[in-house]
Structure 1
Amino acid sequence: MSAQTAAPDAPVVEAGAEARRRTDVIFRVRELGIVGALGLLILVTALIEPRFVEADSLRNLALNASIFAILAAGQTLVLITRNVDLSVSSVLALSAFMAGTLLSDHPSLPIPIVFLLGMGLGAAAGALNGFLVTFGRVPALVVTLGTLYAFRGLAFLWTDGRQVNAETLPDSFLNIGTGTILGIPTLALIALVVVLIVGQYLRDFRSGRELYAIGSSPEAARLAGVRTDRRVLSAFVIAGALAGLGGVLFTARFGTVDATAGNGYEFTVIAAAVVGGVTINGGSGSVYGAAIGAVLLGTITSSLIVLKVDSFWQQAAVGALLITAIAFDRWIGLRLDAALRQRSARRAG
């Protein structure tokens, strides 16, 4: 009896495993393709303007992409669950100004405390987003669009027209944003550590893998015993904490901070994740691809600036890349569905 019951489920399980294997292969190829495109872009730009590959230029590329990579890591967690967080740039602004204010008023304050407070502020903002999405049953797009403006408004109220200047910040803190370790920018190393930790979490921890299950089918995940509300809430909290970390690093990188810090970052971060293979419909993608996407977008912008291309075309290039990535995701989904249907038909025949 049990053998007869188990038999019909075997093809379904095998088909699901086959779909996952095919998806993994496709997205690994896609990530390699992004790396190839990045290398080609750097090569072409270097041939036209050799100074583009000088040490200082490459260092600036790494610095500019680092904060976006950290934000993209957090955004990946949210996108995988079939949600989105538009408020990351405003959370970054609040955290950046808080870090600058604390260190300006209390230069002897231990820097790790500032980082913890910044991440705590971001986590609190993420918890608010997650609570409204999971328990308030409000779509994430609506919630985070509202908090995008609400948090930015708080930033303007808090700053009251003031700004933090680099002269008032301790050199030990500013060195985090501009210094190097063994020739590698400290900021880039921090971003690398964050990406590796988030990537390990998604791959090796049950709660991380459950995020993919939620994004693939929230109802099926719920029926399988996954605590979907708790997992989605945790994704928003982690994304907020990483946005808070990005805000502290923003202050260390640029020194001068006001209420407009990070304005518009949310769209670049989402674009980086999607271009890197994180599907907007949830359930697939990796944080490594998102980080590579952040580097690619940053390199495109820097390359077009070096080549003296008008800013309009810089934005158009990013938009075209984003549309291409979304269309590619849709194409992959259709091909996988068709392949699975054919496989099921052959088995039935």
Structure 2
Amino acid sequence: LNIPSIVVTLGTLTIYRGATFVISGGAWVNADQMSPDFINFQRAAFLGLPVLSWIALLVIALFFLVMTRTQIGRSIHAIGVNPTASVYAGIDVGRTKFIVFCISGMIGGLAGYLWISRYVIASVEVANGYELNIIAACVIGGISIAGGIGSVGGAVLGALFLGIISNALPVINISPFWQMAISGSAIILAVVLNARGERRQGRIILRKAEAA
């Protein structure tokens, strides 16, 4: 159907969230309904670092290698830049997108599991709205919503930047309104800078083509 991936993602998110609410009846799962092993999992540590930190580092390293050292990673970048050209290059665009969606779903499930283990509560409303924070972190990290531009490292830096803002501003008694305003301004600035960078890169490519 050639629908933008981000539109499909947000649309299906709403559908699944609504279906989950209907199936569960909006019920909450509290700590007394969870096993002790599940609750204590996130408290474990290895070499001085929490298990959650090791899992995050492992996921980052794994996807860095996938995106920079494998054929599927190069195919993902190519499809993001130009899906039509990718077809002519022999890349199975549909299959690659399907794999990406499956991997995204798996990582989302892992994140949900770790979130519930950390905060010991589960409901349909948990982490509601965090999808926008994730998009913001990616944009701040230099990832283009249109695709084809960005890196795993950029996404990590964007997430760290938003995390620093969300944790530092309350410490200096900044009101919630101004916290959202500052975060929103940072996102808008990142989008503008990304757009200018893409236009500049396009002009450079055009000049090289004309010179050739």
Q: TM-score, normalised by structure 2?
A: 0.93
1:191 aligns with 2:56: yes
Aligned match for 2:19, one of 143, 149, 154: 154
Alignment of 1:1-349 (within 5 A): 136-345=1-210, 347-348=211-212
Cα drift, residue 250 of structure 1? 1.1
Q: Distance in 1 between matches of 2:121 and 2:208?
A: 59
User: Once the two structures are superposed, what CA deviation does each residue of 1:117-149 show, in whole Å capped at 9, x if it has no partner?
Assistant: xxxxxxxxxxxxxxxxxxx44443443333222
The one-letter code of the counterpart of 1:256 is: I
| Aligned-partner SS, 1:178 | coil
| Aligned-partner SS, 1:257 | coil
User: Once the two structures are superposed, what CA deviation does each residue of 1:283-310 show, in whole Å capped at 9, x if it has no partner?
Assistant: 1211121012112101100101111111
Q: Distance in 1 between matches of 2:133 and 2:29?
A: 25
User: Once the two structures are superposed, what CA deviation does each residue of 1:75-94 show, in whole Å capped at 9, x if it has no partner?
Assistant: xxxxxxxxxxxxxxxxxxxx
Structural RMSD (CA): 1.6
User: More helix per residue: 1 or 2?
Assistant: 1
The one-letter code of the counterpart of 2:123 is: D
| Number of aligned positions between the proteins | 212
Point out the structure with max Rg over C-alpha.
Answer: 1
Cα drift, residue 172 of structure 1? 2.3
Alpha-carbon spacing, 1:300–1:163, altered in 2? closer, same or farther (3 Å): same
Unaligned runs of 5+ in 1: 1-135
Alpha-carbon spacing, 1:139–1:286, altered in 2? closer, same or farther (3 Å): closer
Alpha-carbon spacing, 1:321–1:203, altered in 2? closer, same or farther (3 Å): same
Q: Distance in 1 between matches of 2:123 and 2:159?
A: 24
Q: Distance in 2 between matches of 1:329 and 1:233?
A: 27
